[in-house]
Structure 1
Amino acid sequence: MDRFVVISGCSGGGKSTLLAELARRGCAVVEEPGRRIVSEQLLSGGSALPWLDLAAFARRAIALALDDRAAARQHSGWVFFDRGLIDAVAALASAMATPLDRAFCDAHRYNRRVFLTPPWPEIYAGDAERRHDFSVALAEYDRLRDAYPALGYEVTILPKVSVSARADIVLGTLAEEGM
């Protein structure tokens, strides 16, 4: 859908903070599937965690991203996704050492413009839900930076500037492109 916009990129690169700023400005936002899954799995003692079973985690993230897309249809105007389906499909492909499922991704398109937060070691921090180190975050970023263009998306890499400036860039870019 043209009004579904993905904010993706490096883990710990400021995506969630940017989404919070977009929400503060009145935009509809969808939380990252991965963090919700990790919280639920930690509470329930489950094993669908990226550090235990990446494939199971990615399959859950795909299902949740599909549910998120269906629920987002109720919103009018822009809907900004903190990661989403493509990120989950890329994680599953990596876990299974298989190519991206292009047909599946093409059947569930987002806006052609995708915004990536680059690696930003100065703000990267681990926590209970982000247990991987920065090298894992870099590898994930490289996969996503390659996956989105391979699927026909146009990528804008956001500069390392204030969250307000990043939100201005996202909204300004979409406005300039007549979206």
Structure 2
Amino acid sequence: MLPTEQHPYFVLTGGPGCGKTTLIEALHTSGFRTIPEVARDIIKEQMETGGDALPWKNRERYTQLMLERSIVSYQEAAQNNSPAFFDRGLPDTLCYARLIGLEISTEMEQAAWDYRYHKSVFLLPPWKAIYTTDSERKQDWAEAVRTHTVMAETYQDYGYTIIEVPKKTVQERIAFLQEIVNL
């Protein structure tokens, strides 16, 4: 069981196609408070409006929007201090910047230290059996594996402890999370 004196905001993260969003949706359906991922919303919005802030067009603008929206998402969630599961956290933006070779700005660095989640972060490992691509997820398997590695490094660099979520059914994953966070 995790200490309760830390922030009650639990990050679920991982590379693309690891079952993270499916798990978040199942947690929501089961009655847990969940905070959706901002990156997919940005991609959908940019595709619908013809914008270029996309990972395959203007990566720098996409990264900046991810940072801005992650801060807003955190601030909105913090208005209610009850426990919540975040579909990715603000450090995911820094991970993305590292993956594409973008310099971590002072603004990104400061945000990563200012907007804190529970010290333990749940990382879902790459899982080839469930991996798929779609209109917003274009990364290949090798990039998914690399993302997982950089994600773990990034969160650890910002003082978080990684807890790997086992490759099990959605309900078994929920039970694992419940046991660990005692909700």
Q: Which of 19, 37, 41 is residue 36 of structure 1 equivalent to?
A: 41
1:108 and 1:76, CA in 2 relative to 1: closer, same or farther beyond 3 A? closer
What is the Cα deviation at residue 102 of structure 1? 4.2
Question: Which residue in the other structure is 1:69 paired with?
Answer: 74
Aligned 8 A contact 1:102 1:151 in 2: no
Report Cα offsets for 1:86-114 as digits up to 9, x if no partner: 10122124434435854431111111010
Q: Which of 116, 124, 127 is residue 134 of structure 2 equivalent to?
A: 127
Report Cα offsets for 1:54-98 as digits up to 9, x if no partner: 221111011111110111123342111111211012212443443
Question: Which residue in the other structure is 1:109 paired with?
Answer: 116
Give the Cα separation in 2 of the matches to 1:139 and 1:52. 21
Amino acid at match of 1:35: R
- Runs of 5+ consecutive residues of structure 1 not aligned to the other structure: none
Q: Kindly report the root-mean-square deviation, in angstroms, between the aligned alpha carbons of the 2 structures.
A: 1.8
Aligned 8 A contact 2:16 2:139 in 1: no
Question: Which residue in the other structure is 1:89 paired with?
Answer: 94
Question: Which residue in the other structure is 2:170 paired with?
Answer: 163
Task: State the identity as a percent.
Answer: 29
Matched pairs, number: 176
Aligned 8 A contact 1:5 1:114 in 2: yes
Report Cα offsets for 1:120-156 as digits up to 9, x if no partner: 0110111111112112222211110111112111111
TM-score by length of 2: 0.89
Aligned 8 A contact 1:113 1:156 in 2: yes
Question: Which residue in the other structure is 2:19 paired with?
Answer: 14
Give the Cα separation in 2 of the matches to 1:2 and 1:44. 36
- Runs of 5+ consecutive residues of structure 2 not aligned to the other structure: 1-5
- Larger mean CA deviation between 86-95 and 134-143 belongs to 86-95
Give the Cα separation in 2 of the matches to 1:63 and 1:99. 14
Give the Cα separation in 1 of the matches to 2:46 and 2:131. 23
Give the Cα separation in 2 of the matches to 1:138 and 1:85. 20
Give the Cα separation in 2 of the matches to 1:65 and 1:103. 13
What is the Cα deviation at residue 49 of structure 1? 0.7
Q: Which of 98, 106, 126 is residue 103 of structure 2 equivalent to?
A: 98
Question: Which residue in the other structure is 2:3 paired with?
Answer: none
Question: Which residue in the other structure is 2:148 paired with?
Answer: 141
